[in-house]
A and B are shown apart, each in its own frame.
Chain A
């Protein structure tokens, strides 16, 4: 098995297990509380408005905004890690069909795996730090994934020199 294929398959499986483990932890220990915070703060905002108390309503809506910001990112991170892991595994399985040299395959695999780890990680770090660092990390990771996918699509579209046509006519 080539290094590139091993990297994609092992990276994909580890990332899938990590993404599922993260999702399980989040579902058991944090999601219920997050949903409760979103629902109750939104309702409190409208109750504050009904009680003609705009200060209370404003505070509750700010709590809603913060809780939703964090919740949306946690769910996105979970979904993207697992989704990207599946793409990595399938790419690894089909890597022999890629009409590129081993060196380019290895570079593409490194880019795809690195991007698949860093992009959701950058999104996750935004829940801790609202500065530009985590955002830059997410942009860098997603750029790596997009670039690797574009080159891979070209490589799979090219006919490999040792190809054989299907016999099921």
Chain B
């Protein structure tokens, strides 16, 4: 046997191993492509929501609260109640949009995690595949139906308090629970099995530069997020809670004593407080979520069929976007639209990098299925 053939044997073993683990319509392939797809759609929806709905909705909530305060100032108790009902309706509209965005991305993360641990599940390939389909159906159905709750309401519903959209959202949640429970059973069976063999999975052994960049960068982002969260808890959390109460008391006292100036200044301060809270919490949550995404993507770099230099570039673009968005969100209160625009650019960078990696995985599946060289 020639030396080149000797050298290529372990490589061809590894490729056939990868080919088995990543076969067409296998659980890992479905969960990886479906998971990144869910995250992409969730992020694009989040960007659209942030630009076209979030601020307008926040303005409506603020206006209704202001109307309630002015109604209290005028001594009109009935109008106070009406305005608070409107606040509830606006918050429900906002809540369903946020839930759609958050659930789609969270299910995407879960799909990537399940794709990673798929080889450790003591289940037949067919069972894993069907559980993957069930998971993806539920992961798509739940956020879609949560989005529709505000628009469908109780129309044609057989129940008094729950509409069709909520019923189908719950069905989606049930699909996800059943699929995850099935996968967990497979994992438990594997780890409880007395004669379990080591699971060969070269995805975990790979330590390419883009993989290391994403893994170390991801852990660093989560670290930064926790550091910021600790700072927020130490410096801002209790101050914000005390301010929330004192400002509302100022508005209420102003209305009781018919002091319009106190009500107006209280409303302005309350708006500022809500803005300050929102940007700090959003920055904390986003940097940690991007960190986790980066860590998960690190493991799948061997499946990204792009040139090495481009894999590194997309890893860097993802990390830059992951820092830019939360930092600029934090700066939004000081620098307004400029910081907001840069934050949107950060989100766009993450989306583009993620899309590039997804295309790389698609190219890999095409080559694998076509039997081409990797």
Contact = CB atoms under 8 A, between A and B. Distances in A.
Partners in one complex: yes
Interface of A: 13, 39, 42-43, 45-54, 57-58, 61-62, 64-65, 68-69, 72, 83, 86-87, 89-91, 93-94, 96-97, 138-139, 142-143, 145-146, 149-150, 152-154, 156-157, 159-160, 163-169
A39 B302 contact: no
A150 B230 CA distance: 14
B25 to A, nearest CB: 22
Please provide the 5 A-B residue pairs with the shortest distance between their CB atoms, ordered closest to farther. A166-B208, A157-B216, A49-B255, A149-B223, A163-B207
Given A49-B256, A166-B301, A91 B219 contact: yes
Contacts of B216: 153-154, 156-157
A49 B116 contact: no
A133 B233 CA distance: 16
B369 interface: no
A22 B299 CA distance: 30
Contact of B222 (A87, A96, A168): A87
Interface string B86-106: 001000000000000000000
A58 B205 CA distance: 62
Interface of B: 11, 68-69, 71-77, 80-81, 84, 88, 109, 113, 116-117, 184, 187, 204-212, 215-216, 219-220, 222-223, 226-227, 229-230, 233-234, 241, 244-245, 248-249, 251-253, 255-257, 288, 292, 295-296, 298-299, 301-302, 304-308, 311, 364, 374
A146 B308 contact: no
A57 B80 CA distance: 13
A165 B75 contact: no
Contact of B248 (A45, A153, A163): A45
A168 B374 contact: yes
The main secondary structure of chain B at its interface with chain A is helix
> Which residue, of A62, A157, A159, has the highest number of chain B Cβ atoms within 10 A?
A157
B76 A93 contact: no
Contacts of B227: 146
Contact of A165 (B209, B251, B292): B209
A149 B222 contact: yes
A86 B292 contact: yes
Given A94-B298, A157-B216, A46 B253 contact: no
B206 A47 contact: no
Nearest to A10: B191
Contacts of A154: 216
